[in-house]
């Protein structure tokens, strides 16, 4: 896609935010409006999230990102134009004007060894992700834009009737990610669960752990504003890791609350490699430990295989991305439980396209839980 040359007339153009390279100032560009390919669609963007992934993109911490890129991987929009019927998995036709989100992953082949034999579709080498592995050269395939193109085969999911944009976007990518982590954890009725991390993934893991039958969930995280949400969302107790800086003291905090045994399940959602060792120390013998926070390579840690894994009889599980099923079921759960958990309150600030840099800075400073880009605010 060519950038707009202001000397040429461009009747049908839209604006988008472009990240040209790591740490380069974001650019607000005017580009030709996207046209759907056969079997595809375009959406008028209503809201797109700014999340930790976008901060990683900005810092150049993700491998193989095709800059320049339009960021924004989880979004809500209205169907503007389709080329052929657009259907969802449940009700069939999704008409023009419908408020939808979409599974941000496409290109998963269903034919490779990972897809067919290992049944690990999130590790399919052909898998692409909107706003993360899609460069501007390929089209408008990120959410920080007035209009986005849905490639043929992208799975759309209409928002359930009583779910608002703010409800869904308050969950954002943390909703299906936290859901997937809890599925991996196989929480049993009556379990005591520790969630390490009070960002969007940790907060959603806290919610779904309760819905999965946990007796209680303890949350370690920071800063205070995020921990206040953890309390509101049902954490029995929270520990501020900014105040309690000694990991041994944090482990003791968990052990004191579990008769010295440790938690049945620990879900790591911090992004800090040191948290993995700390989490294993918090785990009871025979417990399950899910690592979902290490989305980028933040370095190595030393653990003791005898003490942390073998003798502890620990199950340690990684959790990479999410499949369509996690998005679908987590949205149904959000619709059912939206009054109890009020995900919409996680949306801390909203910015127009022209202020995307401020949104990114907020996210980087952890000053917010969820920041949205709303192109409509520019008008």
3-state secondary structure of 16: strand
**Angle value at C-alpha 365, between 361 and 371, nearest 5 degrees:** 60
Closest listed residue to residue 205, CA positions, set 225, 222, 223, 187: 187
To Zn ion, the closest distance from the beta carbon of 296 in angstroms equals 13
Contact string (CB under 5 A) for Zn ion, positions 72-111, x = contact: -------------------------------------x--
Closest listed residue to residue 178, CA positions, set 156, 198, 205: 205
User: Which of 36/174 has CB closer to Zn ion?
Assistant: 174
User: Which of 100/124 has CB closer to Zn ion?
Assistant: 124
Q: Rule CB under 5 A: is residue 53 a binding residue for Zn ion?
A: yes
User: Which of 175/280 has CB closer to Zn ion?
Assistant: 175
Q: Which of 55, 86, 99, 115 touches Zn ion (CB under 5 A)?
A: 115
Stretch that binds Zn ion, among 31-39, 113-121, 186-194, 210-218 (CB under 5 A): 113-121
Question: Binders of Zn ion among 120-139, rule CB under 5 A?
Answer: 124
Q: Rule CB under 5 A: is residue 112 a binding residue for Zn ion?
A: yes
By CB under 5 A, how many residues form the interface with Zn ion? 7
3-state secondary structure of 140: coil
Contact string (CB under 5 A) for Zn ion, positions 159-198, x = contact: --------------x-------------------------
To Zn ion, the closest distance from the beta carbon of 124 in angstroms equals 3
Q: Which two tokens stand for residue 258?
A: 């579990």
3-state secondary structure of 365: coil
User: Which of 104/146 has CB closer to Zn ion?
Assistant: 104
3-state secondary structure of 156: strand
Task: Give me the count of residues in the chain.
Answer: 379
Half-sphere exposure at residue 84, Cβ-oriented, CA atoms within 13 angstroms:
9
3-state secondary structure of 97: coil
Stretch that binds Zn ion, among 50-58, 157-165, 185-193, 246-254 (CB under 5 A): 50-58
Q: How far from 15 is each of 41, 47, 191, 215, 281, CA to CA, in Å?
A: 18, 14, 49, 48, 49
Binding site for Zn ion (CB under 5 A): 51, 53, 109, 112, 115, 124, 173
């Amino acid at each position: 896609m060519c950038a707009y040359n202001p000397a040429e007339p461009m009747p049908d153009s839209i604006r988008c935010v472009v990240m040209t390279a790591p740490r380069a100032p974001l650019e607000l560009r005017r580009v030709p409006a996207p046209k759907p390919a056969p079997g595809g669609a375009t959406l008028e963007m209503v809201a797109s999230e700014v999340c930790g992934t976008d901060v990683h993109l900005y810092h150049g911490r993700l491998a193989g990102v095709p800059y320049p890129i339009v960021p924004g991987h989880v979004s809500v929009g209205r169907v503007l134009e389709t080329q052929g019927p657009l259907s969802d998995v449940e009700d069939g036709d999704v008409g023009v004007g419908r408020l939808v989100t979409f599974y941000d992953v496409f290109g998963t082949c269903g034919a490779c060894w990972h897809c067919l034999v290992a049944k690990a579709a999130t590790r399919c080498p052909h898998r692409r992700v909107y706003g993360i592995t899609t460069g501007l050269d390929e089209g408008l395939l990120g959410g920080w834009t007035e209009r986005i193109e849905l490639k043929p085969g992208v799975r759309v999911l209409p928002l359930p009737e009583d779910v608002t944009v703010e409800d869904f976007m308050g969950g954002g990518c943390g909703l299906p990610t936290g859901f997937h982590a809890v599925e991996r954890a196989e929480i049993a009725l009556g379990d005591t669960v520790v969630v390490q991390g009070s960002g969007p993934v940790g907060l959603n893991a806290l919610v779904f752990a309760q819905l999965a039958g946990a007796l209680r969930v303890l949350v370690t995280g920071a800063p205070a504003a995020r921990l206040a949400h953890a309390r509101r969302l049902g954490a029995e107790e929270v520990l501020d890791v900014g105040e309690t800086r000694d990991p041994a003291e944090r482990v003791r905090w968990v052990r004191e609350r579990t008769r010295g045994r440790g938690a049945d399940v620990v879900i790591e959602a911090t992004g800090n490699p040191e948290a993995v060792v700390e989490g294993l120390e918090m785990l009871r013998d025979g417990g399950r430990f899910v690592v979902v926070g290490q989305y980028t390579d933040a370095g190595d840690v030393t653990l003791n295989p005898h003490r942390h894994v073998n003798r502890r009889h620990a199950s340690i599980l990684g959790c990479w991305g999410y499949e369509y099923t996690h998005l679908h079921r987590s949205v149904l759960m959000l619709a059912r439980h939206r009054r109890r958990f009020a995900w919409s309150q996680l949306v801390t600030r909203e910015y127009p396209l022209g202020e995307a840099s401020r949104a990114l800075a907020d996210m980087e400073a952890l000053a917010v839980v969820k920041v949205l880009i709303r192109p409509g605010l520019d008008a």
